[in-house]
Amino acid sequence: MTKMNGTPLKPDRKTTERNRRIHMKSLCFKLSSLIPPNQFKTSKESRRRACLAVIQGIVSNLSST
C-alpha cells in the first residue's frame, strides 16, 4: 500500500482478507481463554461450544442478580 499525491491507497482484497483472518484468530484465542485449561484437548468446535456455554452461564448469572 503506497501513497499517491498524499492519499493512502485502499488495501487490496488479499491484504484485507489476511487482516480479517488475523483478527478472527486473535478473537478465537481470547474466547478460548475463557474456558478451563483441562478442556483444551478437544476440537476447535468443541472449545467454541464450551466457551459459548460459559458465556451464557455468566450472562444468566448477571441477569438474575
Residuewise pLDDT in 10s, the chain (65 residues): 555 666 678 889 999 999 999 998 898 888 777 776 665 566 778 877 877 888 888 888 888 87
Model confidence, pTM: 0.49
47 part of a folded domain: yes
49 part of a folded domain: yes
27 is written with which cell numbers?
478473537
39 part of a folded domain: yes
50 part of a folded domain: yes
| Cα separation values, 47 from 7, 20, 43, Å | 43, 21, 6
7 part of a folded domain: no
52 part of a folded domain: yes
Tell me what pLDDT residue 54 has: 83
1 part of a folded domain: no
The residue range of the domain holding 60 is 13-64
What is the count of structural domains for the chain?
1
5 part of a folded domain: no
- Rounded CA-CA distance 5/35 in Å is 50
